[in-house]
Structure 1
Amino acid sequence: MINYSETELNEAKRQIASTVHKLKETVKTLEGKEQSQRYRSQITLAKRRIVEFTLALDLIEEKLMN
């Protein structure tokens, strides 16, 4: 197992949080489009990535607390 420094973990957390924010905005935009059904696969992918990145954030946070 690789040991990451606190600085590396905090930077990863910052970058992932930024990506989650952008993905949420993307979902809002795509869902707000007139023919949002055309973007169903992109919306689904973005929502899945939000869940996965949120899980990664939780794991990073857990690692920082230990």
Structure 2
Amino acid sequence: MAYTKEKLQEAKRQIDSTLHKLRETVRTLEGKENPSRYKSQITLANRRIQAFGLAVSLIERELEQLS
């Protein structure tokens, strides 16, 4: 499936925004008095960070090919 450069750039921008929010969430949860209480939420957020990081890498590779 072919995507335009603009659509890829917008998708990357949205993912970067979500990654920022997820990282802030992890920092907040880990900074709580009892972070082990939030272990499953922290794990889920970290897995999402990894998945979105992979998506960004693939988008960047696609953008390089378009240039």
Alignment TM-score > 0.5, same fold: yes
**Which consecutive segments of 4 or more residues in structure 1 shift more than 6 A?**
none
Identity, in percent, stands at 62
Q: Give the AA of the match of 2:60.
A: E
Aligned residue pairs total 65
> Is 1:61 the equivalent of 2:51?
no
Partner of 2:45: 46
Residue segments in structure 1 that go unaligned for 5+ positions in a row: none
Structure 2: gaps spanning 5 or more residues = none
Shift in Å at residue 35 of structure 1? 1.2
What's the TM-score, normalizing by structure 2? 0.95
Q: Secondary structure at the match of 2:40?
A: helix
Letter in 1 for 2:17: S
Query: What is the aligned partner in structure 2 of residue 22 from structure 1?
Result: 21
Distance in 2 separating the partners of 1:65 and 1:31: 36
- CA deviations on 1:19-47 (whole Å, 9 max, x unpaired) are 00100000000000011111000000000
Aligned to 1:34: 33
